[in-house]
């Protein structure tokens, strides 16, 4: 069994993060205007120009899928920049030198976890979107997309397309992330979630599972007209291991409106499906010792209605990007999920411009994290970093995602991500494709990519086979 994490090294993280959080945001002075979309702005709404010192290059347009690649072949082997050499390696000894380009959570890990490092590579702006997504995005910028009167849900938008490419609020940036183009669906045949041992123990939580996701608005066959939105995504999920979870499954439907996520859960011991009306927000996920809440899945999942979201500005930051090493049929889980952190050799960082959004819990509402800070890539709208604070305003949990350009869709996406609990001294790595591949579907007429597939009755039928 792999060594246990040392809580003593992690106890310093809150103090480090608290000091780092006092730094002011280095906001971009770029004047954004919808008229510039496709001109000074990329079709997705990012700044097309590079930065002043050239460390962030100008956007060069979409990158063609590599010749010779097909599903099942290692994606990283076909990455045009796979031979890039590291520009710098950041650890506790030199973290202060890079502090202006790091988040409080990143600084906390660098200074508080022995051996933790970030290898920085040349910036490659590999994230784009297909032409039909860009066409819809232009119409959204011209007024096709709008927020509802409640101030947090989407009233209508033309999808697939970026709803708010020139955002005026933090919640618009959040919806750009949640509704980013990913095709019509994705499939995991053998994903793994791993949670490191409790301090002083040696036993990991290792759960394997299969998952199917469907995005009803993701087809290129869209009508070309703005549509009222209702469903954000649907999911069919079931556990394979460990024995305590094996056979359990769920079907979930997330909404863009004021409806809570609808979850039905199958319990094999009872041979019945039960509706889970409170399985959302900060409810703990079953089987993970309170280390993992529902809305921490995939960086942030569920409705954003409990927070006021402030658009705090834009920064040049060192963030995870082009992380192909985490998408190639991981043969040995603990070659990736090492004792205290995800293997540094599997992580790649680059300098990119990111939007910073701060969430503050609304008066009269409750959540375990009253404050959250999220960091979004300007080119793809993917949430790259996330920080959750506790009731004492101490940094509690830090997450980072590991995005790649997806050859099938012509856009970027992510599944693997890591979360570090700075108080409990544990971390989790989720959505790892162990001995399997992640498959993206651009179009499909299969029954499982229809809304009628994601029902409680079908969950029961699939679970009892």
Mean pLDDT across the stretch 242-268? 92
pLDDT at 328: 86
CA distance 286 to 186: 23
Name the band, by pLDDT with cuts 50, 70 and 90, for residue 2. Answer: very low
CA distance 21 to 271: 49
| Assigned token pair, 223 | 């009508």
CA distance 293 to 280: 8
Phi, psi angles (nearest 5°) of residue 207: -115, 130
CA distance 143 to 179: 17
Name the band, by pLDDT with cuts 50, 70 and 90, for residue 22. Answer: very low
Measured from the Cβ of residue 162, the count of other Cβ atoms closer than 10 Å reads 32
CA distance 335 to 345: 10
Phi, psi angles (nearest 5°) of residue 352: -140, 160
Name the band, by pLDDT with cuts 50, 70 and 90, for residue 395. Answer: very high
Angle (CA) 207 382 350, round 5°: 95
pLDDT at 201: 92
CA distance 335 to 282: 30
Which DSSP symbol is given to 144?
Answer: I
Mean pLDDT across the stretch 130-141? 95
**Mean of pLDDT over the chain:** 92
Mutual angle of helices 104-112 and 13-20, in 10-degree steps:
140
Q: Tell me: pLDDT of 338 over 70.
A: yes
- Mean pLDDT lowest among 60-64, 74-78, 384-388: 60-64
Q: Tell me: pLDDT of 221 over 90.
A: no
292 vs 5, more confident: 292
- What is 7-133+183-463's CATH number, 3.40.50.80, 1.10.10.10, 3.40.1190.10, 2.50.20.10? 2.50.20.10
Q: Tell me: pLDDT of 7 over 90.
A: no
CA distance 449 to 212: 9
Q: Residue 184: which residues within 8 A CB-CB, separation 6 or more? A: 214, 215, 216, 218, 219, 441, 442, 443, 444, 449
Mean pLDDT across the stretch 237-244? 96
Looking at the DSSP bridge assignments, the partners of residue 320 are 349
pLDDT at 465: 61
| Assigned token pair, 174 | 């959040």
Q: Tell me: pLDDT of 207 over 70.
A: yes
pLDDT at 290: 93
pLDDT at 13: 54
11 vs 107, more confident: 107
pLDDT at 225: 67
Looking at the DSSP bridge assignments, the partners of residue 210 are 238
Q: Tell me: pLDDT of 229 over 80.
A: no
Q: Tell me: pLDDT of 5 over 60.
A: no
* CA atoms 294, 345, 18, 122: torsion sign: negative
Q: Is the peptide bond before 160 cis (omega within 30 degrees of 0)?
A: yes
Q: What pTM did the predictor assign?
A: 0.93
Name the band, by pLDDT with cuts 50, 70 and 90, for residue 1. Answer: very low
Q: Tell me: pLDDT of 26 over 50.
A: no
Mean pLDDT across the stretch 153-158? 92
128 vs 28, more confident: 128
Q: Tell me: pLDDT of 111 over 90.
A: yes
pLDDT at 14: 54
* CA atoms 140, 161, 349, 113: torsion sign: positive
CA distance 98 to 401: 20
Q: Tell me: pLDDT of 17 over 90.
A: no
Reduced to 3 states (helix: H, G, I; strand: E, B; else coil), residue 127 is coil
| Assigned token pair, 80 | 């045009």
Name the band, by pLDDT with cuts 50, 70 and 90, for residue 3. Answer: very low
Q: Domain locations in the chain? A: 7-133+183-463
* CA atoms 155, 378, 52, 386: torsion sign: positive
Mean pLDDT across the stretch 371-398? 98
Determine what percent of the chain is predicted with pLDDT higher than 70.
92
- DSSP E strands in 48-149: the ranges are 88-90, 118-120, 146-147
Mean pLDDT across the stretch 387-393? 97
Secondary structure element (H or E) that encloses residue 388, with its range: strand 383-389
Q: Tell me: pLDDT of 18 over 80.
A: no
- Mean pLDDT lowest among 177-181, 197-201, 224-228, 271-275: 224-228
List C-alpha distances in Å: 116 to 9, 95, 338, 349: 11, 11, 11, 13
List C-alpha distances in Å: 422 to 104, 110, 112, 166, 361: 12, 12, 9, 34, 21
Mean pLDDT across the stretch 188-212? 96
Residue 350 CB burial class (10 angstroms; 0-12, 13-18, ≥19): buried
pLDDT at 4: 40
């Amino acid at each position: 069994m792999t060594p246990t994490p040392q809580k003593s090294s992690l106890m310093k993280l809150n103090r480090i993060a608290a000091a780092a959080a006092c730094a002011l945001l280095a906001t971009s002075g770029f004047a954004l205007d919808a008229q510039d979309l496709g001109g000074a702005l990329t079709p997705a709404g990012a700044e097309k120009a590079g930065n002043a010192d050239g460390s962030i290059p100008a956007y060069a347009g979409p990158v063609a899928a590599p010749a010779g690649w097909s599903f099942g072949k290692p994606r990283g082997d076909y990455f045009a920049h796979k031979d890039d050499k590291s520009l710098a390696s950041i650890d506790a000894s030199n973290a202060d030198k890079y502090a202006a380009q790091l988040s409080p959570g990143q600084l906390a890990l660098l200074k508080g976890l022995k051996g933790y490092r970030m290898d920085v590579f040349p910036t490659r702006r590999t994230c784009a979107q297909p032409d039909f997504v860009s066409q819809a995005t232009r119409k959204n910028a011209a007024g096709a997309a709008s927020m509802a009167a409640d101030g947090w849900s989407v009233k209508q938008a033309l999808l697939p397309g970026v709803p708010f490419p020139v955002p005026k609020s933090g919640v618009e940036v959040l919806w750009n992330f949640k509704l980013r183009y990913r095709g019509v669906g994705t499939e995991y045949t053998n994903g793994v979630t791993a949670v490191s041992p409790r301090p002083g123990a040696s036993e990991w939580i290792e759960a394997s599972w299969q998952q199917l996701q469907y995005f009803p608005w993701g087809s290129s066959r869209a009508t070309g007209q703005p549509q009222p939105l209702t469903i954000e995504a649907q999911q069919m999920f079931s556990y394979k291991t460990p024995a305590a979870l094996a056979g359990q499954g769920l079907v979930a439907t997330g909404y863009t409106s004021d409806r809570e996520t609808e979850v039905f859960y199958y319990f094999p011991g009872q041979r019945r499906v039960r509706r889970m009306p409170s399985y959302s927000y900060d409810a703990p996920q079953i089987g993970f010792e309170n280390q993992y809440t529902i809305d921490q899945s995939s960086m942030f999942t569920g409705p954003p209605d409990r927070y006021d979201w402030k658009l705090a500005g834009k920064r040049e930051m060192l963030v995870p990007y082009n992380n192909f090493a985490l998408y190639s049929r991981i043969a040995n889980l603990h070659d990736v999920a090492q004792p205290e952190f995800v293997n540094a050799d599997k992580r790649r960082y680059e300098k990119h411009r990111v939007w910073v959004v701060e969430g503050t819990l609304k008066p009269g509402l409750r959540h375990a994290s009253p404050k959250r800070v999220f960091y979004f890539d300007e080119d793809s709208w993917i949430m790259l970093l996330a920080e959750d604070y506790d009731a004492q305003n101490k940094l509690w949990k830090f997450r980072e995602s590991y995005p790649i350009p997806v050859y099938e869709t012509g856009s970027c996406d992510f599944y693997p991500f890591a979360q570090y609990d700075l108080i409990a001294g544990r971390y989790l790595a989720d959505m790892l494709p162990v001995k399997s591949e992640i498959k993206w579907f651009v179009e499909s007429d299969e029954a499982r990519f229809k809304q009628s597939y994601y029902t409680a009755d079908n969950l029961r039928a699939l679970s009892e086979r």
